[in-house]
Structure 1
Amino acid sequence: MKTEFVRPAVPASARKVCADPVAIPDRDISAEETTNLWGRDRTSLRSCEIRRAAAVSAIDGAMP
């Protein structure tokens, strides 16, 4: 009998490159624009972290 350790696959969604921060216009922007751009960046960061954490969890949870 031979023991073989199989490394788990990282979920495809966790391999996606995180989105770049939104481009800020080369002009003064309003408070509303600032809030909207900030919100988009925060949402992107959160979803990227969820994918990354899922990949780490999949690998760490499957190791002997």
Structure 2
Amino acid sequence: MGLIRAAGLRRPVVLGASMSGEICLELALRHPDAFRGIVACEASDHIEGRKTPGPTTARSTRRSSCPNGSRG
């Protein structure tokens, strides 16, 4: 979040793949209203030994999932 603030970005879209996808999930969980969108590719919402619980509430998952058959 420090980098985003320092760059003066307002509600950016962030993208990450693999480990950086996991970071995107953490950002979505910890700061759900700070981003316009989050794209977490090849990320896992469950990692053994993870200190922070993965997104399980409707508030955190509604923005992080894409319905089947969507286009665009």
Structure-1-length-normalised TM-score = 0.22
Higher strand fraction (1 or 2): 2
| Larger RCO (CA under 8 A, 6+ residues apart) | 1
